[in-house]
Amino acid sequence: MFIWALLAAVVGRFAEKKGQSASLWNIISVICTPLIGFLFVALLPSTSELVPRAFRRCPHCLQTVKANIDVCPYGHSEMSEELCVRKAA
């Protein structure tokens, strides 16, 4: 029982690293066995991997555009990091 809870906690940590809810996956692991919980979390896409490296999110219209372009095809705004920082400031 102790090992069960420990494994569920590990699954929770693993889920948290992927940007998922740790407590949610902790509970799922306790109910559905930590092994199944771990497999589910492993199959889940990481929130940090949702936008692949070849793509980035336009800071203006929040569309995913190719990383190598300079002007957003949606909002026609410049995609420079400088502009991004300036706008956030």
What are the residues binding Zn ion (CB under 5 A)?
58, 60-61, 72, 74-75
The closest alpha carbon to 77, from 49, 86, 52, 47, belongs to: 86
Smallest separation (angstroms) from Zn ion to the CB of 37: 38
Smallest separation (angstroms) from Zn ion to the CB of 85: 16
Smallest separation (angstroms) from Zn ion to the CB of 43: 31
The Cα–Cα gap between 55 and 70 comes to 12
Which residue, 31 or 69, has its beta carbon nearer to Zn ion?
Answer: 69
Q: What's the DSSP call for residue 55?
A: E
Which residue, 23 or 63, has its beta carbon nearer to Zn ion?
Answer: 63
Residue type at 83 in one-letter notation: L
Which residue, 20 or 77, has its beta carbon nearer to Zn ion?
Answer: 77
R_g of the chain computed on alpha carbons: 19
